[in-house]
Amino acid sequence: MDFKDAILLLHPVIVVTIVFPLMGLIANRGLRVRQRRLQLASGYKSKVSPVVGQEHVQTGHWLTGAVVGATLIALANDIFGKVIGEQLWNTNSFQVGFIVLLFGATIASVALLYQAQQIKWKATFAILAGMGLVILGCQDGVYRKTDQWYTSHYYYGIAASLLMIFSLSILKSIYQDRTQRWRTVHIVVGSAVALLFLGQAITGTRALLEVPLSWQESYIQKLYELQCDAKPCTVQSAPRTP
């Protein structure tokens, strides 16, 4: 395994060791927050500790950072793999500069979203961070599988990251809204994220099987060319190179 392969593994390793355990923790704490709230509302004394709310929110902060970070690492691996492979800075240095700037701006927007207190700034930085992810995802080298979007690791991943950013930005509204509408929105979004993570576990494991190790790349490319000589090729049958 050479350096390129090790970099490729960075994203799955972070997801498996940090993101998924945090997701388990956050779902558990979220259910306990709900249990406590419903018990108190119906006049019972709850045995659930009042600190579960704080623990849930704290875990939410970590999870959002971990998901967005893991997504940025995967996108960087795809995009810079292409930039380095084609030595793009010789032919299109503007595009390379733009990509670097975009990564910086996206990371800065997420950092500022954590700091923002007023709704207008939360909305601004959430939109900027989301736009950054979407524009980065549109760059060459990212394996999007658009014609199979319903099983695409990319689309599920970007959707999960955007929903996490959204969850972070509505944090205060959940507490302030007396009608509990934002709480309901939050539960729907949280459940969608949980389902998307399940999808990511499946499509991510498939992605690991699809990306050839460096030493396998030339053989896979040859096989692909042979196969395309025999019958027309589709985007899906193209080798997925990191």
Contact status, residue 66 vs residue 19, Cβ threshold 8 Å? yes
| CA of residue 101 relative to chain centroid, distance | 20
Taking CB under 6 A as the criterion, the residue among 26, 83, 113, 162 binding ligand HEM is 26
Amino acid of residue 17: T
- Show contacts with ligand HEM in window 132-191 (CB under 6 A): 142-143, 153-154, 157-158, 160-161, 164, 167-168, 171, 174, 183, 186-187, 190
Burial environment of residue 157 by CB neighbours within 10 A (0 to 12, 13 to 18, 19 or more): buried
Q: Is 82 in the site for ligand HEM (CB under 6 A)?
A: no
DSSP state of 48: S
> 14-39 burial, b for 16+ CB within 10 Å, e for fewer?
bbeebbeebbebbbebbebbeebeee
Rounded to 10°, the helix 153-169/93-115 angle is 40
DSSP secondary structure code for residue 234 in this structure: -
Tell me if residue 143 falls in helix, strand or coil. coil
State yes or no: residue 31 binds ligand HEM (CB under 6 A).
yes
Distance of CA 151 to the CA centre of its chain: 15
The yes or no reply on residue 69 touching ligand HEM (CB under 6 A) is no
Binding mask 217-236 for ligand HEM (x = CB under 6 A): --------------------
User: Which one, 94 or 114, has the nearer CB to ligand HEM?
Assistant: 114
If the CB atoms of residues 88 and 207 are measured against ligand HEM, the closer one turns out to be: 207
Residues at the interface with ligand HEM (CB under 6 A)? 8, 11-12, 15-16, 19, 26-27, 30-31, 33-34, 37, 53, 56-57, 60-61, 63-64, 67, 70-71, 74-75, 77-78, 142-143, 153-154, 157-158, 160-161, 164, 167-168, 171, 174, 183, 186-187, 190, 193-194, 197, 200-201, 204-205, 207-208, 211, 242
